[in-house]
Amino acid sequence: MSPLVLHVTGARPNFPKAAPVIAALERRGVRQLLVHTGQHYDRNMSEIFFRDLGLPEPDLNLGIGSGSHAVQTAAMMTALETVFLDERPDLVVVYGDVNSTLAAALVAAKLGVRCAHVEAGLRSFDWTMPEEVNRVVTDRLSDIVFATSPDALVHLAREGVDPDRMHFVGNPMIDTLLRLRDRFDGSRVVTELDLPATYAVATLHRPGNVDDPATLDRMVAALRRVGDRIDLVLPVHPRGRQQLEASGLFDHPRVHATEPLGYLEFLGLVAGSALVVTDSGGIQEETTVLGVPCLTLRPNTERPVTITHGTNRLVTTEGLAGHVDAVLAGDGPTPGVVPPLWDGASGERIADVVVDVLASAD
C-alpha cells in the first residue's frame, strides 16, 4: 500500500491551515485520512468551515467535545492512539497550537509515528497562554517543522531543532484567504444589523481576557468606548458568551452581537471594515494581508511579522480608544508589506516536503 498521511484537526483555526495542505497532497495522489477530534462541534464553529473551505468530510470524527485541558487532551489522546494503531499512518500532520494539536503530537511521539507540525516556532513567551505550552511541546515532539515566518526559524534553532528538520514554507492559512477572497461576503450581516458604511469588527475569546470578571469588565468598558466612536460588530465565541451578554456590552446602541460566523462571512465583514479589535492570533495575520488596521488587545503576540510588516498594533484597554481615534483620523497602521512567502503557495511547498519525506522512508 502507498504511504498514508493522517491529518489531525479539531478546532476552528485548524481548518483554513489544513485545507491547502490536503488539497496539494490530493493533487500529488497521496493517500490521506482526515481526523477531526471534535474539539469544536457547534455547526458554526466547525461544519460551516468545512463547507466554506471545500474541505472533504472528516474520515473520522472522534466527538471529544469540551472539558478542562487535562480531560479534553487525555480523551483526545486515548481516542487518537486507537486510530493511529488501526490506521498505521506513515506521517501525522498537526496544525497550529490548539489542544488537538498537542494531543496528536504526543500520541505520535509515543507510538514512534513521524509527526509534522504546520505553523511551528511561533512564540509569545507567555506561559499563561495554553497555546504557548502547546506550541513548545508540539515542536519538541515533531520530526518535521513547517515555519510561517523567519522569526519562527530563529526560535526553533535556539531550541536546538536540527536545521534539516525545519522548512520555511510561508503561511498556508493565507493560501486559503487568497483562494477564497473573491467569495468573501459580509453583506447578510451588514444588512441584518443595518450597519453604516464605516464600521469596526471585534472578537474576544482568550481565557486571559474573558475568564476573569475584573479583566472582562475592563474589556467591556474599552469596547463601549469604541462603540461611542464607531459601530462595532462582535461575533460572540461560545467561550465567555454568557459573561459578555450579562455584562451589558450589547445594551450599547452601536455595539452589535452576532453568532460566530462562517469563514466567508466573517472575512467579508473584516475586509469591509474600517478596523478590527481582536485577541485572536489568526486575525492578526488575515488583517495584515487584507490591509485592515488591527488593534490587538494583548500584551504580546507570537506573530510579530504582523507588526513589523503588517497592520497590527498591540494595545491596552486604556489605550484602545485613542488608537481607534487615530485610525478614524487616517493616522493608524497602514498597509505595509505582505510577509515573505505569504503568497498562496505554502500548501504546495508543504506537500513537496511531505512527498520527499514519504519517499525517503521507503
CB burial of 301-318 (b: ≥16 within 10 Å; e: otherwise) equals bbbbbbbebbbbbbbebe
Q: Which of 27, 63, 66, 211: binder of ligand UD1 (CB under 6 A)?
A: 66
- Residues that contact ligand UD1, how many (by CB under 6 A): 18
The string of DSSP codes covering 250-305 is: GGSTTEEEEPPP-HHHHHHHHHT-SEEEE--SHHHHHHHHHT--EEE-SS--S-TH
Which listed residue (205, 237, 256, 309) is catalytic? 205
- Closest contact distance (angstroms) between CB of 76 and ligand UD1 is 10
- Closest contact distance (angstroms) between CB of 262 and ligand UD1 is 13
Please tell me whether residue 40 binds ligand UD1 under the rule CB under 6 A: yes
Q: Cβ(189)–Cβ(261) under 8 Å?
A: yes
Can 205 be counted among the known catalytic residues? yes
Stretch that binds ligand UD1, among 27-35, 87-95, 178-186, 235-243 (CB under 6 A): 235-243
Backbone angles phi, psi at 206, to 5 degrees: -65, 135
Residues 236 to 275 in contact with ligand UD1, rule: CB under 6 A? 237-239
Q: Bridge-partner residues for 94, per DSSP?
A: 8, 117
The string of DSSP codes covering 296-334 is: E-SS--S-THHHHTSSEEE--HHHHHHHHHHHHTT-S--
C-alpha cell at 200: 469596526
Q: Please say which residue, 25 or 244, places its beta carbon nearer to ligand UD1.
A: 244
Q: Please say which residue, 243 or 336, places its beta carbon nearer to ligand UD1.
A: 243
- Closest contact distance (angstroms) between CB of 71 and ligand UD1 is 10
Residues 129 to 168 in contact with ligand UD1, rule: CB under 6 A? 130-131
Please tell me whether residue 208 binds ligand UD1 under the rule CB under 6 A: no
Please tell me whether residue 11 binds ligand UD1 under the rule CB under 6 A: yes
CA distances from 259 to 69, 138, 179 (A): 25, 32, 25
Q: Cβ(24)–Cβ(347) under 8 Å?
A: yes
Q: Cβ(307)–Cβ(314) under 8 Å?
A: yes
Amino acid at residue number 288: T
Helix (H) or strand (E) holding 111: helix 99-111
Please tell me whether residue 98 binds ligand UD1 under the rule CB under 6 A: yes
Q: Please say which residue, 7 or 237, places its beta carbon nearer to ligand UD1.
A: 237
Please tell me whether residue 42 binds ligand UD1 under the rule CB under 6 A: yes
Please tell me whether residue 99 binds ligand UD1 under the rule CB under 6 A: yes
- Closest contact distance (angstroms) between CB of 18 and ligand UD1 is 14
Residues 295 to 314 in contact with ligand UD1, rule: CB under 6 A? none
- Closest contact distance (angstroms) between CB of 240 and ligand UD1 is 8
Amino acid at residue number 61: N
Stretch that binds ligand UD1, among 35-43, 82-90, 111-119, 315-323 (CB under 6 A): 35-43
Q: Please say which residue, 228 or 245, places its beta carbon nearer to ligand UD1.
A: 245
The C-alpha atoms of residue 116 and residue 32 are separated, in whole angstroms, by: 14
Catalytic residues: 205
Applying CB under 6 A, the residues found at the interface with ligand UD1 are 11-13, 39-42, 45, 66, 97-99, 130-131, 205, 237-239
